[in-house]
Structure 1
Amino acid sequence: MKLLFLPGASGSTEFWQPVMQMLPEQYIKTVVAYSGFGGHSLNSSIQNFDDLQADVLSQIYEPTLVVAQSMGGIFAVQAALQKPEWVQGLVLVATSGGIDLSPFDVADWRQDYQLSFDVPDWFVEHQSHLDGRLAEIECPVLLIWGENDSISLVPVGQYLQSQLVNSDLYIVEHGQHDLANVYVDQVVELIKKLIRKIEQ
């Protein structure tokens, strides 16, 4: 089984490296570099969010566990919907998962991201509303949230758990939006547990 890691809106492929290094060597581990993000070269064929999503999903062509941070969760959910034959499971960390966040009192991260990172306007402005399709996802889903995350609040994770039929929610004490890069040991153990569940 391949382990495919998706960064958040910063596009930083370094974010997932500590977790990837601690997972068993027998798995192929790949982190996706978004075109034009995080200092990665720009593919001129990627002009909008749908192009980027298609590029990400094109990398899923074998049994795969998709591990996603923040905005990467939108691609992960789409992968489970569009390629259920290959997506064996999802790990969604501090993400919207493509749901409508207007009912939740979340901090507006978009302006700060544009000030901090060189990302296209179309990426920051994109909003997905996949709420009505979440029940279609049957693969195991691990939801990992930070207790003190102001960008993706715990109620967002609880809502996703209520909509995803085969999901478990784990809340990291004191965790913030970067919890997967800070509480590496906890995240690795949770991913290992999900892998064991998938491989049973």
Structure 2
Amino acid sequence: MTTQTETHSQIAVEVAGLKVNALQDGSGPNIVVFHHSTGSPGWIPFYDFLAQNYTVTAIDMPGYGQSERPVWARHPRDIAMLLHSAVHKMGIDNDAHMVGMGFGGWVAAELAAMHLHGLDSLILVGAAGVQPEEGEIADVIFYEFEEYVKLGFSSDEAYAEVFGDEAAPELKELWDFSREMTARLTWKPWMFNRQLPHLIGEVETPTLLLWGENDRVTPIGVAEVYNASLPNSTLQVVEGVGHLVELENPQAAADAIHSFISGL
């Protein structure tokens, strides 16, 4: 089912008895986007920049946003399997570029490992999913949730430019609801899969690892493990921003992705 909301098409498909929702806009080659563990932000400027050159499908992952919750799911791979079916039912098959941000990057990496030849490219933006050799991925459970989101920016001032001095109540509710689902999927070990570096060694899909210079959520060591494990990857660091690259500098994030895809 496809309906129109503002200038964006809203798509809903059923997978494993669950509604999976997405927003779509733009024209050109397909880009599918998986959001952070903080939940689906709706349509954001980053998507507008991408939609200048691509058909952008921003999916609410199962259990987040307007998509129904799979109460049985206990691993990001479960979500990846549902999303693989959802993308197919949305009419997007083997000609897509997949963008995964944070936790959504982990889900995208799991999907790529299961379906080795199904993507034109893979873009992991500050992705979780692997254990860094030094340091650790920030654990949301140890933070009041607004503080965790602030940690995703390079500074409190950068956070305020996007959300104001204090986030709206409905945003805080979204973040809290999303945290519960994320805990179900990533609790032990927190935000990484020990098997994933071995599994993605077979992923020959061209991959861009896009990281904020000041990422305090998924340290650059995570990117280095991905870069060492993936046989066809490129690491690019965006200067002056934190973990939420696409919120803090959406133009730079979109430009980096477009440049990468154009060079394939």
Normalised-by-shorter TM-score class: 0.7 to 0.9
Whether 1:3 aligns to 2:40 is: no
Structure-to-structure mapping, 1:1-200, within 5 angstroms: 1-14=29-42, 17-25=44-52, 27-38=54-65, 40-44=66-70, 47-49=73-75, 50-61=77-88, 62=93, 63-96=95-128, 98-101=129-132, 103-112=133-142, 115=145, 116-118=175-177, 119-120=180-181, 121-125=183-187, 127-129=192-194, 130-198=196-264
Find the counterpart in structure 1 of residue 168 from structure 2.
none
Are the structure 2 counterparts of residues 66 and 114 from structure 1 closer, same or farther at C-alpha, using a change threshold of 3 Å?
Answer: farther
User: Are the counterparts in 2 of residues 45 and 51 from structure 1 also a CA contact under 8 Å?
Assistant: no
Q: Deviation of residue 173 (structure 1)?
A: 1.4
Q: Deviation of residue 59 (structure 1)?
A: 2.9
3-state SS of paired residue (2:263): helix
Distance 1:20 1:181 in 2: 10
Larger Rg: 2
Distance 1:174 1:123 in 2: 31
Q: Deviation of residue 134 (structure 1)?
A: 2.3
User: Are the counterparts in 2 of residues 5 and 29 from structure 1 also a CA contact under 8 Å?
Assistant: yes
Find the counterpart in structure 1 of residue 170 from structure 2.
none
Listed as ranges, the gaps of 5+ residues in structure 2 are 1-28, 146-174
User: Are the counterparts in 2 of residues 79 and 87 from structure 1 also a CA contact under 8 Å?
Assistant: no
Deviations 1:9-37 (A, max 9, x none): 112243x6222211245632111112332
User: Are the counterparts in 2 of residues 35 and 46 from structure 1 also a CA contact under 8 Å?
Assistant: no
TM-score (norm 2): 0.65
Distance 1:132 1:114 in 2: 34
Distance 1:156 1:122 in 2: 22
Q: How many correspondences in the alignment?
A: 194
3-state SS of paired residue (2:199): helix
Distance 1:64 1:46 in 2: 28
User: Are the counterparts in 1 of residues 81 and 111 from structure 2 also a CA contact under 8 Å?
Assistant: no
TM-score (norm 1): 0.84
Deviations 1:66-113 (A, max 9, x none): 1011011111112222223321111111112x2234x33125323057
Q: Percent identity?
A: 22
Q: Deviation of residue 60 (structure 1)?
A: 3.6
